[in-house]
Amino acid sequence: MTAVCQPRRALVEIPAPQPKIEARMRRSYLEILGARLSPTPRGRSSTTAVPRRLRSLDLWSGRIHEHCDKMEEQQHTALSKQQLVQLIRSLILVEQSQEPRVVASDLKFLQEDLQLKKANVYRSIPYSRLGSNRDAHCYRKAYPHLVAFKVSCQEWGQVLLRNQEWDVVLEHTLMAWRFTSELPQWETASHNALREQCFGILASQSQAALQHYSPPASRGRELLRRLKLAQQHSRAATPCIDALQRILGAGGDSATDTK
């Protein structure tokens, strides 16, 4: 038998080739915005609105390009320690410019801020190294975050002192003291200087508050107990303990005199 061969039919017809798209057909985002703003709306006052928008758009794009150029130039030069401290200080001052009295009085916000700064210190330490994670290399990685922690303790304490919230200053000092004691201790003794500087800053703020504030007897005894616990981490708390004991002693003597 002879096989019957039938011609196969094309299921899909191939369309004719499309003309090539001209080069530079895609427009940028700024060109699209400019094209949308180009038609003049109705009314007399709208004739000046479009050029102003276009001018502001061009100004905005120019500032972006200038900022990008500056960032590209600064990538090749590392920030010095002084520039880094000034940058962190300016960021904190920007935060403080928004209702500093209300924000600083909220100890929960200050606690979250210090906890975040401490967490950033530990996040910056590389734990995948074969050697120690408390050596000079890890200290250099964590140094910017340690400076940020120190500046945060100093600046927020100064805000509370300016607001004359003496009891809040003492509470903030003890809270920040606990976070400072939880910072990593480095193998090189000179690398622990920032930690001791934080203790010294907090102790001076407590002494400044105790010069203007005489807590009640129950509150004073609680603060004294917590300061003695803080003394185990640093002897910088000793002058604060002596000042508080003098205040409590003077209060006890006046109470017995009245009796």
**Euclidean distance between CA atoms 102 and 119, whole angstroms:** 25
Runs of H (alpha helix) within 125-236: 136-162, 166-181, 193-210, 217-230
pLDDT value at residue 109: 87
Average pLDDT score, the chain: 75
Each residue's pLDDT tens digit, 93-150: 555 544 445 455 578 888 999 999 999 999 999 887 677 889 999 999 999 999 999 9
From the list 186, 195, 188, the residue with the least C-alpha distance to 234 is: 195
Element (H, E) at 124: helix 107-124
Domains of the chain: 81-212 (1.20.58.1590)
Q: What is the reported pLDDT for 72?
A: 47
Answer with the residue of higher pLDDT: 227 or 76: 227
pLDDT at 169: 95
Distance of CA 3 to the CA centre of its chain: 84
Distance CA 70, CA 14 (A): 53
Asked if 145 and 115 touch (Cβ cutoff 8 Å), the reply is no
The predicted model gives 236-244 an average pLDDT of 96
Measured distance CA(225)–CA(241) in Å, rounded: 9
Question: Residue 70: is its pLDDT beyond 60?
Answer: no
Band of the pLDDT at 87, cuts 50, 70, 90? low
pLDDT more than 90, % of the chain: 48
Segment 15-32, tens digit of pLDDT: 666 565 555 555 555 555
The answer to whether 95 and 117 are in contact (CB under 8 A) is no
Q: What pLDDT, in 10s, does the model give residues 24-59?
A: 555 555 555 555 545 444 444 444 444 444 444 444
pLDDT at 45: 43
Residues 6+ apart with CB under 8 A from 180: 149, 153, 195, 198, 199, 202, 233
Buried b (16+ CB within 10 A) or exposed e, 73-95: eeeeeeeeeeebbeebbeebeee
Q: What is the DSSP string of 2-44?
A: PPPP-PPPPSSPPPPPPPPPPTT-S--HHHHHHHHH-S--SSS
Q: Checking phi first, is residue 99 left (phi over 0); if not, alpha (psi -120 to 50) or beta?
A: left
* Overall average pLDDT of the 48-77 stretch: 47
* Under 8 Å between Cβ of 252 and 219: no
